[in-house]
Amino acid sequence: MSNLYDTVYQESINDPEKFWGQVAEDCLWYKKWDKVLDDSNKPLYRWFTGGELNTCYNALDYHVDERGRGDHIAIIYDSPVTNTIKKFTYAETRDIVARFAGVLAAQGVVKGDRVLIYMPMIPEAAFAMLACARIGAVHSVVFGGFAAKELATRIEDAKPRVIVSASCGIEGQRIIKYKPLLDEAIEFSSVKPEKCIVYQRPQETASMIKGRDLDWAEETAAATPAKCVPVAATDPLYILYTSGTTGQPKGVVRDNGGHLVALKWSMKAIYDIDENDVWWAASDVGWVVGHSYIVYAPLFKGCTTILFEGKPVGTPDAGVFWRVISEHKVKCMFTAPTAYRAIKREDPNAELMKGYDLSDFKILFLAGERSDPDTIQWSEKHLNVPVIDHWWQTETGWAIAANCMGLHHFPVKYGSPTKAAPGWDVKVLNAYNEVVPSGEIGALSVKLPLPPGTLPTLWQNDARYIESYLEEYPGYYKTADAGIIDADGYIYVMSRTDDIINVAGHRLSTGAMEEVLADHPEVAECAVLGVEDKLKGQIPVGFLVLNAGVQRDNSEIIKEVIQMVRDRIGPVAAFKMATVVKRLPKTRSGKILRGTIQKIADNKECKVPATIDDPTTLDEIELALEGIGLAKARKQ
Ligand code: COA
Ligand code: AMP
């Protein structure tokens, strides 16, 4: 029997131009597009070529000036770490953003210039993003948990004219000073910004470098508000760096037009949110979820979005999510399964939920990593609402697969993020680029063109974009996830096919960690693997082979490499476990048998590979894993 999802899905696949062209009518354009889908430069596609718009206008001014909703609350800043709740109406947000856009303009920032934003979860981070959009500047937000070196890599690549930062972030009880990290990153980088604009928080006053650093509050007070600048639909709105298979992160580009169209539409179709609803994405502005669903999509929709500066546990306790949901009458929330695992661990019977009125709460959405059935069932039981897993990536900007709650609520199958979202022609392919029968595992891939709101390319690197995503399966986008589609069209995402691991919903490259370990003067060879973890989903574990003749205590070397990863990649890597082995298991041609080590570490059955050079190396791995308290091997 047909339902709204089926109808919409078929329309979106059979005639994408007609479908997205109609969806785009819901947005404000200074000039309508010449072509909905421009395929003149395949395999690079562009959406809404010829169209002109402004993203900030659609997020703010439109609601204030054209819909009389200036008094509606746009952003609720809820910060248990500073005991603050602050509400900003659409009109207030527009005025603050226009002023800050004026600050940027006064520093010479013009359309196309990059502005790097390195900020904690404070409303000023969202204001800075929107201010860039207002004047056509391209923002690049960097997550606070990265080390100065990672920040420097992003400065080198994006070449920002201005950097916007804050004096500190707050991690639970700890003050994380941002400014020294920023100063260090600028020193490492060969590219220097002209100015840094620093928001001084009361918890920490950053020291300023004369001539380069400007105070957010002073500059804003003196600024002339800037107007929205029309940009091309195909102009970049932002660059968001994400882990690639090397230490060099990939600069995912998002355009203005396709992004607006797809994201605004997704709020109702996927999340069932209307303009009078309160929506909460508990993530960070440094991640794609923060870009798409803390800032842009809810504001395009005209609803209320919560910007939460806290953790699921410890700020002050595992009841904080229930407090926020009840206090602000949240209808739907979106977070990573890890957050719920953390709550479940601290408060297994959800005692802290008692006393909170959660009657406005309707749906919990989870993404960012595999949702384990235990966590889904625990959440369903205690919240008594649908718990919806959905699958997407930094690159895709919005969900590839979901139970689209505004279209049709399909029965949940645990372990599956349900079906391909409208616009996404998802196939499972074998190594010969052939679609495999349903139920068989293969490479989850998306038939080109990707829908609007996805990545048109990597920042100034079409070649890397094509090589990374489009070359292996001609005619398709490679998600780098392996999985299956069952006979009912439900998608199952099983594992990454590259070296990316997911630690507490944070995407990390084990290859990048290996590059750091290999730099230790006493490490001859190494491997880093993502090992299953009850709380964080996966955690990285390093295996080190030391140079012949090294006499020092292994534990000292391990401490040093752990510190190196923290210093170079950042605390977010959560690299805290490493072990020394004599040799790594390899094939006869010298390839490290990562899959086999992984299975042993995860306590899964594994066969000794026929291609192994020396089977006794596996015994060494078992012993080393036991030594660090990881599961015993089950090799056959
Ligand atoms: N700025 C500075 N440091 C940060 C940071 C930030 N924005 N975010 C994390 N870190 C640090 C943490 O303080 C921690 O440092 P430590 O090693 O000194 O303790 C380290 O990075 C690892 O952080 P994390 O993996 O988040 O672990 P945690 O133990 O601090 O918290 C959870 C565990 C489960 C509570 C937390 O990971 C969480 O809330 N996860 C939800 C995931 C999420 O929102 N993902 C976004 C995608 S939807
Ligand atoms: P990120 O770019 O940080 O959003 O990470 C994207 C990766 O996270 C995907 O390629 C998947 O490997 C994983 N992922 C995201 N959502 C899900 C999900 N719902 N189920 C399984 N894996 C997921």
For a mutational test of ligand 1's pocket, the pick from 146, 171, 340, 565, i.e. the residue with the most ligand atoms closer than 8 A to its C-beta, is 171
Convert the pLDDT of each residue in 186-195 to its tens digit.
999 999 999 9
Q: For residue 417, give the ligand 2 atom closest to its CA.
A: 19
Convert the pLDDT of each residue in 136-153 to its tens digit.
999 999 999 899 999 999
Q: 596 and 451, same structural domain?
A: no
Q: Is the pLDDT of residue 582 over 60?
A: yes
> Cα(312) to centroid of ligand 1, in Å?
10
Mean pLDDT of the chain: 95
Q: Is the pLDDT of residue 124 over 90?
A: yes
In a domain, 584, yes or no: yes
- Take residue 607 and report the two structure tokens written for it: 């066969």
Other Cβ atoms within 10 Å of 42 Cβ, number: 11
Supply the residue whose CA is at minimum distance from atom 7 of ligand 1: 144
Q: For residue 314, give the ligand 1 atom closest to its CA.
A: 35
pLDDT of residue 1: 59
Q: How far apart are CA 367 and CA 371, in angstroms?
A: 7
Q: 274 and 199, same structural domain?
A: yes
Average pLDDT over residues 514-540: 94
Spatial neighbors of 229 by CB under 8 A, at least 6 apart, are 54, 111, 134, 135, 136
Convert the pLDDT of each residue in 379-427 to its tens digit.
999 999 999 999 999 999 999 999 999 999 999 999 999 999 999 999 9
Assign residue 565 the CATH number of its domain: 3.30.300.30
Q: Is the pLDDT of residue 205 over 90?
A: yes
> Cα(569) to centroid of ligand 1, in Å?
14
Indicate the number of domains in the chain: 2
Is-cis flag, bond preceding 348, omega within 30?
Answer: no
For a mutational test of ligand 2's pocket, the pick from 334, 393, 538, i.e. the residue with the most ligand atoms closer than 8 A to its C-beta, is 393
Assign residue 139 the CATH number of its domain: 3.40.50.12780
Give residue 470's identity as a one-letter amino acid code. L
In a domain, 484, yes or no: no
Task: Work out the pLDDT band at 314, boundaries 50, 70, 90.
Answer: very high
- Take residue 260 and report the two structure tokens written for it: 């607006």
Coil/strand/helix, residue 139 = strand
Q: For residue 536, give the ligand 1 atom closest to its CA.
A: 34
Q: 460 and 568, same structural domain?
A: no
Q: 511 and 463, same structural domain?
A: no
Q: For residue 480, give the ligand 2 atom closest to its CA.
A: 10
Task: Work out the pLDDT band at 245, boundaries 50, 70, 90.
Answer: low
pLDDT of residue 310: 97
Q: 470 and 504, same structural domain?
A: no
Sheet strands (E) in 534-603: 537-546, 577-580
Supply the residue whose CA is at minimum distance from atom 48 of ligand 1: 336
> Cα(367) to centroid of ligand 2, in Å?
7
Which 8-state DSSP code applies to residue 353? G
The pairing of strands 213-215 and 195-199 is parallel
pLDDT-wise least confident of 263-267, 303-307, 551-555 = 551-555
Which ligand is nearest the CA of 340, by number?
A: 1
Q: How far apart are CA 16 and CA 449, in angstroms?
A: 9
Q: Is the pLDDT of residue 239 over 90?
A: yes
Task: Work out the pLDDT band at 347, boundaries 50, 70, 90.
Answer: very high
Q: For residue 574, give the ligand 1 atom closest to its CA.
A: 22
Average pLDDT over residues 433-445: 97
How is the chain split among helix, strand and coil, in percent rounded to 5?
A: 30, 25, 40
Q: Is the pLDDT of residue 634 over 70?
A: no
The answer to whether 486 and 438 are in contact (CB under 8 A) is yes
pLDDT of residue 633: 47
Q: How far apart are CA 191 and CA 159, in angstroms?
A: 6
Q: 516 and 473, same structural domain?
A: no
Q: Is the pLDDT of residue 133 over 50?
A: yes
Q: How far apart are CA 602 and CA 370, in angstroms?
A: 16
Report, in angstroms and rounded to the nearest whole number, the Rg of the chain calculated over CA atoms.
Answer: 24
Q: How far apart are CA 34 and CA 164, in angstroms?
A: 36
- Take residue 410 and report the two structure tokens written for it: 């399909």
Q: For residue 367, give the ligand 1 atom closest to its CA.
A: 48
Model confidence, pTM: 0.95
> Which residues span the domain enclosing 414?
4-310+390-478
Distances (CA, A) of 565 to 77, 239, 584: 33, 24, 21
Supply the residue whose CA is at minimum distance from atom 13 of ligand 2: 369
Average pLDDT over residues 231-259: 92
Q: 563 and 424, same structural domain?
A: no
In a domain, 336, yes or no: no
> Cα(318) to centroid of ligand 1, in Å?
15
In a domain, 375, yes or no: no
Task: Work out the pLDDT band at 610, boundaries 50, 70, 90.
Answer: confident
Spatial neighbors of 40 by CB under 8 A, at least 6 apart, are none
Q: 63 and 212, same structural domain?
A: yes
Average pLDDT over residues 335-347: 96
Q: Is the pLDDT of residue 272 over 50?
A: yes
Query: In this structure, what are the phi and psi dihedrals at residue 576, rounded to the nearest 5 degrees?
Result: -130, 0
> Cα(520) to centroid of ligand 1, in Å?
26
> Cα(474) to centroid of ligand 2, in Å?
23
Which ligand is nearest the CA of 122, by number?
A: 1
Kindly report the three-state secondary structure assignment for every residue of 403-457: CCCCCCCCCCCCCCCCEECCCCCEEEECCCCCECCCCCCEEEEEECCCCCCCCCC
pLDDT of residue 631: 61
Q: For residue 335, give the ligand 1 atom closest to its CA.
A: 48
Q: Residue 542's closest CA among 154, 566, 616?
A: 566
Which ligand is nearest the CA of 500, by number?
A: 2
In a domain, 263, yes or no: yes
In a domain, 547, yes or no: yes
Task: Work out the pLDDT band at 627, boundaries 50, 70, 90.
Answer: confident
In a domain, 243, yes or no: yes
In a domain, 350, yes or no: no
Supply the residue whose CA is at minimum distance from atom 6 of ligand 2: 393
Binding pocket residue ranges, ligand 2, CB within 6 Å: 242, 288, 367-371, 389-394, 417, 479, 481, 493, 496, 502, 507
**Burial class, 592, CB count within 10 angstroms (exposed 0-12 / middle 13-18 / buried 19+):** middle
If you count DSSP H runs as helices and E runs as strands, how many of each does the chain have, helices first?
A: 19, 31
